[in-house]
Amino acid sequence: MDGCVVISLGMFGLPDLPDYAWAADSSDLKGRLGAVHFQKIRMADEVYIVDPGGYVGASTRREIAYAESLGKPVRYLSRERSAQAGDE
């Protein structure tokens, strides 16, 4: 990863705010976090999706679509692990 800067998540939901009612969010926290993620995507040269077991939720699907609309390459952890397993 020489020459790479990783722009990670700013928050990991459940571990960071275990008592937060995400489904009942009326503070627009989810919207503000989404805007931050879109800004990070605009700054990125590529987007790397950490998708344990291939799972991608609705918010991540929106972010992938946004990245693709900007012409950003999108890579997936699950696909790279599958390819590596096939090489062994």
Higher pLDDT, 2 or 74: 74
- Number of domains making up the chain: 1
Q: pTM of the full predicted structure?
A: 0.72
Q: How confident is the model at residue 22 (pLDDT cuts 50, 70, 90)?
A: low
Higher pLDDT, 71 or 51: 71
Residue 6 is assigned to a structural domain of this protein: no
Residues 6+ apart with CB under 8 A from 41: 47, 63, 66, 67, 70, 72
SS3 47: strand
- The mean pLDDT value for 76-80 works out to 85
Residue 2 is assigned to a structural domain of this protein: no
Residue 80 is assigned to a structural domain of this protein: yes
Residue 29's domain comprises 22-87
Q: How confident is the model at residue 30 (pLDDT cuts 50, 70, 90)?
A: confident
Shortest CA distance to 51 belongs to which of 59, 41, 43? Answer: 59
Residue 11 is assigned to a structural domain of this protein: no
Residue 46 is assigned to a structural domain of this protein: yes
